[in-house]
Amino acid sequence: KNQVEQSPQSLIILEGKNCTLQCNYTVSPFSNLRWYKQDTGRGPVSLTIMTFSENTKSNGRYTATLDADTKQSSLHITASQLSDSASYICVVSENSGNTPLVFGKGTRLSVIA
């Protein structure tokens, strides 16, 4: 069964600190992996998308990595800001690309002053 597991479930960090969120998946065959940021009560917003041939992709203070061999991805947030408080969702698509995305349950990040 295609699954996406994220850890930790929740995380609290001080403003200005860095953090790394993890994503493991069993989706096969793999097409692409996306990280989304979802503010409470809002729709998810795309941060990065990577295909199997990409190892890393950055979007400002967000850097995603992908190891397609071990089926692991991470999202690193640098110099966190209060506005980074949100759920971060890892989403994996099967190779056909036409099948639905498989969503992780997300990591709830709280950045405090």
Q: Which of 53, 60, 100, 113 binds another protein (CB under 8 A)?
A: 100
Q: Which of 2, 22, 24, 32 binds another protein (CB under 8 A)?
A: 32
* Distance separating alpha carbons of residues 97 and 79, to the nearest angstrom: 34
Q: In terms of Cα–Cα distance, which of 30, 12, 29 is closest to 21?
A: 12
Both tokens of 51, joined, read: 């295909």
CA dihedral 86, 19, 51, 2 (to 10 degrees): -70
Name which of 39 and 79 has its Cβ closer to another protein: 39
Give residue for tokens 């110099």.
79
How many residues sit close enough to another protein to count as binding (CB under 8 A)?
Answer: 22
* Distance separating alpha carbons of residues 96 and 105, to the nearest angstrom: 23
Name which of 17 and 42 has its Cβ closer to another protein: 42
Strand, coil or helix: what is 17?
coil
Site string for another protein, 74-93 (x = CB under 8 A): ---------------x---x
Binding segment toward another protein, per CB under 8 A, in 16-24, 35-43, 55-63, 67-75: 35-43
Least distance CB 109 / another protein (angstroms) = 14
Q: Which residues bind another protein (CB under 8 A)?
A: 31-32, 34, 36, 41-46, 49, 89, 93, 97-101, 103-106
